[in-house]
Structure 1
């Protein structure tokens, strides 16, 4: 049955995959996130280490606080400057794909992004806020990098460049050739910056962020909107954007935190817990956590596809972060990002997980989340038992893992078949060219 499903999916998804793989813009975005991977990996490892479950009990709250403060500069660099890396990466990769001078397109993209980034003035001194270069500005940086490079390319194609004699050194020639396209790109975003400063939004980033937030803000604590939020969260992850920050942390967190506090108050008073949906449900049963994809994918890698050397090597790197709910190595390393074969399981995973948990809790087989919070890095099964104050919470998560592992097995098999076929086609083309 699985083989039949795999063949059908391959038939309909591969044309879409091929189209995406030939799109310069999408591939440049993918390249940029791969460039950022070593830094997000480093930050993720340290983040997991200082947020280990029950670390407070082992070394004390003061020691944990000291460790977290000690590694805070590392977090600032690896996570809060991620947009700058991505802007450079897109500018470089897209410039290279368009056969431009990638160093100049990358620098132009960076300057355009900095022009559009607000400055604050304190005692006659101008400052950039480091938070403006983090996760909340990725979407803005992505748009600016693509648009600035397209403007650059358009100017070059129209031949609006300064020509230098052949005797001039190449680097000098490249600098003068890039002068007009770079200036036009920067001036374009300078005008955008001036226009935005006259609006209620103030900045381009605020405008884009508001348009991302507006449809999400309408979401409330009901099952339909909760499932939609889970879909939206993973859709952002598919494009390499931090879905949790864009969907949950920025808007939904206050809503579900208040529901959790109501549950905690009822639990402490010995009363019936009122809310099925809460912050703990979202993170430990509803799919708003990297574990819900990391666990089934890692199981597939080490159990069903252990003979695939490239997957096994990736699995070794992603295993420890994945256990503690950090699945960026899989998003950017497999990659799940911008791979249409994996879009369907990424969207279905939070839906399936939510429905399984609701089925158990609504029927009374498992209690609601009590409002007791655990670190988001807490491994599955353990987090389920603690947040529901029952062994059944761990059982629910185990069922979720089993069902979603079957789902991911089907689609990973499709992806592997497609990769093998691609390699065979390349070998065939090579043999034909030698004849």
Structure 2
């Protein structure tokens, strides 16, 4: 077996293991299931915070109302996340997902620090649960708690540490009582954990995870060179016929989602967005223009095969669907097209980074744009028409990268077609 075959086989094995891993799938699927919540919050933020003076004057009487959905979606996303991840993990073990979700939500809340405030006129300080760790800052803690609390709950159920009900009791009542002991076990464990971390210099489990894990990972994931490396790996895997997005996004989606949420929160507050490199930044510059550049080149080729593939692949490429071109040309196992296929999204991303650093383009606000939103609209939803225009201008850049390589194959295809005729 040659190197290519070995690499492809090993790569497919890795992709399959990641896709079938219960815990990675629970995180990935759990985050994906919160997309409607994230979109509600992002749209609320966009409508209430667009920095256009005339628009702001117009919405001034209802601005607080427009921003209200974001308060209980984007700013509280960790609550939805911990439930969704626990639910997904429990279902993978054929257990009650809702029960695991509720118990994990409790575990997350019992770890969340409560603040005391002095209120004028109140006889004593008021305790309150702030949004500090309910949004982006608590997202990594939510992932960990969702997996850990759900797994303890499932373990107790598997061991039959449950209250048995007599025959004839309705199934709903039976399920409720069977979850009592597992729920109490989770409650005891996480109450102890909360008490232990309250005695440390961090003050809470959330602050510990944010300081020790989340900040370093965000620093690594929010780096342009890390992003380019991730793009290179993903594109290379696709060249070998391996679903690169499954492998790469399974690792970086939690980091990118957190960066997006922090940008969105800053945008809503009218503050400078802290991150340039985010999942939204990746989506704007790497997802659409490169393949549309290839389509543009295919339209001006001479071989019938390439012209037809260009027409067939164009509609999907507009909406970020690339498989017809990847497997139709093909790009898979094609050493000539592999070079521009890997290079073009990296060049577009680097250009977008430079243009943002020098101030020509604004930072993406972190809007969670649904898959299938077309080019230009996907950029526009990130807070500025300039990003949509930049996407369109990257198409000829990508076309220039693809052109010499496609020309080589086009000449060969044309000769074969003429010979066949």
Q: TM-score, normalised by structure 1?
A: 0.58
Alignment of 1:56-205 (within 5 A): 56=53, 59-63=54-58, 68-122=63-117, 123-205=124-206
Aligned to 2:23: 25
Q: 1:293 aligns with which of 286, 298, 307?
A: 286
Residues 281 and 364 in structure 2, CA contact (< 8 A), matched pair in contact too: no
In 2, the alpha carbon distance for the partners of 1:34 and 1:217 equals 19
Residues 162 and 180 in structure 2, CA contact (< 8 A), matched pair in contact too: yes
In 2, the alpha carbon distance for the partners of 1:109 and 1:80 equals 19
Superposed CA deviations along residues 140-182 of structure 1, whole A, max 9, x for unmatched, are 1111111111111222222222222213332222222211111
In 1, the alpha carbon distance for the partners of 2:294 and 2:190 equals 45
Closer/same/farther in 2, CA of residues 279 and 204 from structure 1, 3 Å limit:
closer
**CA shift at 1:192, angstroms?**
0.8
Closer/same/farther in 2, CA of residues 299 and 354 from structure 1, 3 Å limit:
closer
In 2, the alpha carbon distance for the partners of 1:239 and 1:226 equals 13
**CA shift at 1:279, angstroms?**
8.1
Closer/same/farther in 2, CA of residues 63 and 238 from structure 1, 3 Å limit:
farther
Aligned to 2:302: none
Question: Counterpart of 1:21 in 2: which secondary structure?
Answer: helix
In 1, the alpha carbon distance for the partners of 2:34 and 2:49 equals 22
Alignment of 1:393-408 (within 5 A): none
Confirm or deny that 1:369 pairs with 2:370. no
In 2, the alpha carbon distance for the partners of 1:305 and 1:185 equals 56
Confirm or deny that 1:55 pairs with 2:52. yes
Residues 38 and 74 in structure 2, CA contact (< 8 A), matched pair in contact too: yes
Aligned to 1:421: none
Superposed CA deviations along residues 9-68 of structure 1, whole A, max 9, x for unmatched, are 86553222221222222222233223212222233334444555x733xx2543365565
In 2, the alpha carbon distance for the partners of 1:149 and 1:165 equals 27
In 2, the alpha carbon distance for the partners of 1:16 and 1:77 equals 38
In 2, the alpha carbon distance for the partners of 1:188 and 1:136 equals 23
**CA shift at 1:383, angstroms?**
7.5
- CA-atom RMSD in angstroms: 5.0
**CA shift at 1:83, angstroms?**
1.7
Which consecutive residues of structure 2, in runs of 5 or more, have no partner in the other structure?
A: 118-123, 232-244, 267-271, 297-308, 323-339, 366-382, 404-421
In 2, the alpha carbon distance for the partners of 1:351 and 1:149 equals 39
Residues 231 and 348 in structure 1, CA contact (< 8 A), matched pair in contact too: no
Aligned to 1:378: 384
Aligned to 1:267: none
Aligned residues: 325
**CA shift at 1:205, angstroms?**
1.1
Closer/same/farther in 2, CA of residues 301 and 355 from structure 1, 3 Å limit:
closer
Question: Counterpart of 1:126 in 2: which secondary structure?
Answer: strand
Question: Counterpart of 1:71 in 2: which secondary structure?
Answer: helix
In 2, the alpha carbon distance for the partners of 1:171 and 1:248 equals 38
Confirm or deny that 1:37 pairs with 2:35. yes
Closer/same/farther in 2, CA of residues 401 and 171 from structure 1, 3 Å limit:
same
Residues 228 and 346 in structure 2, CA contact (< 8 A), matched pair in contact too: yes
Aligned to 1:241: 254
Q: Which moved more, 1:112-121 or 1:171-180?
A: 171-180
Residues 217 and 255 in structure 2, CA contact (< 8 A), matched pair in contact too: no
Question: Counterpart of 2:73 in 1: which secondary structure?
Answer: helix
Closer/same/farther in 2, CA of residues 155 and 372 from structure 1, 3 Å limit:
closer
In 2, the alpha carbon distance for the partners of 1:109 and 1:368 equals 41
In 2, the alpha carbon distance for the partners of 1:37 and 1:189 equals 28
In 1, the alpha carbon distance for the partners of 2:259 and 2:141 equals 12
**CA shift at 1:129, angstroms?**
1.2
